[in-house]
Amino acid sequence: MIPITKPFFDEREERAAAEAIRSGWVVQGPRTQEFEKLVAERVGAQYALATSNCTTALHLALIASGIGAGDEVLVPSYSFIASANSILHAGATPVFVDIDARTYNLDPALLEEKITPRTRAIMPVHQIGLAADIDTIHAIARKHQLSVIEDAATIIGGTYKNKPIGAHSRAVCFSFHPRKAITTGEGGMVTTNDPDIARQIDMLRSHGANVSDYARHGAAKVIIEEYPVLGYNYRLTDIQGAVGVEQMKKLDWILERRLEIGRRYNEAFADLDFIATPYEPPYAAHTYQSYCLRVAHNAPKTRDEIMAEMQAAGIATRRGVMAAHLEPVYVNRYGRVALPVTEEATRSTLLLPIYAQMTQAEVETVVRVLRQILGA
């Protein structure tokens, strides 16, 4: 079986995790701080705060931005359900916006028609490794005095107009789930240049404490912490932080390999008029967190038939991206919302295997089998 993805670990992550365990300090501590520093430097942000996953990162970013009950946040439905769920967890209401048919990212042209007196923020999602049109989104946000909180789960190492994703907005949230380019198993990160946002998230992620356990235990004198706000236990462990440090050292190589594989797939399917390969707008380059193909209506097989035959041949695929507004939790709350571009994309897209250590033979097997299934 060729899997859809595979994290790239070697003895360096194994050694780093073992050293963290042997140190006796396994909760958020020095290795997590080092991981945060590496991410902040990479994305050009003043602050980076690790969390237990990207969903909790988004939740904290919303709360720290003052988003809560009675507020609305504009968000694409074409995203993993965690994007919208984080808004619900903050007590606010997700308002779904349709996507651009080529980029699969939120369509800025549709934002203003969704804005109401209750709208407080926009949450663009950089989908499957391609940056959304941040400048256009920011222009609309400034006009209507809205916050921008980026769901950058898929795009660590990616850029917008040659500037790293991670410092454009009030808060930017990354994921280190195994489906992402680099992973800590589970894990998330909020990056920001706003000291107030950073200070709030630092407390909120650790039960609302005004000083971290690591700082308190390492102090020369006794410190008794206080809890000025109601917080959460959203911390990253130092074992995960140690793994994250090693993964960051490999990020450039991992992204380079994904780009090579993505370009090979693009080349292999470019002659098929019923298959759309990933589009790159002039403002962003794809990082191929996932490799997404779109199957046209005139294709010899449907998307689902292709997936079934690929599975039978020992090659894993996945549907492109879910449409959160079609899930029962949202239909039951808000009724059926019409998002035609999103709905067509979620019916017609599929993801092919892509991971850094994927061999050339595996890539060519995927190409050969898919072309055979399509009769091409």
**Catalytic annotation, residues:** 180
Helix residue ranges per DSSP H, the chain: 11-23, 30-43, 54-64, 82-89, 134-143, 195-204, 213-217, 238-269, 303-312, 328-334, 340-348, 360-373
Q: Which helix (H) or strand (E) holds 350?
A: strand 349-352
CA distances from 367 to 296, 313, 320 (A): 18, 12, 18
Over its C-alpha atoms, the chain yields an Rg (Å, rounded) of 21
Burial class, 196, CB count within 10 angstroms (exposed 0-12 / middle 13-18 / buried 19+): exposed
- 343 CB-near residues (< 8 Å, 6+ apart): 323, 326
Q: Which residues are paired to 99 by β-bridges? A: 106
User: What strands, in cross-sheet order, belong to the sheet with 72-76?
Assistant: 47-51, 188-192, 171-175, 147-151, 119-122, 72-76, 93-97
Q: Which residues are paired to 175 by β-bridges? A: 188
**CA–CA distance, 309 with 313 (Å, rounded to integer):** 6
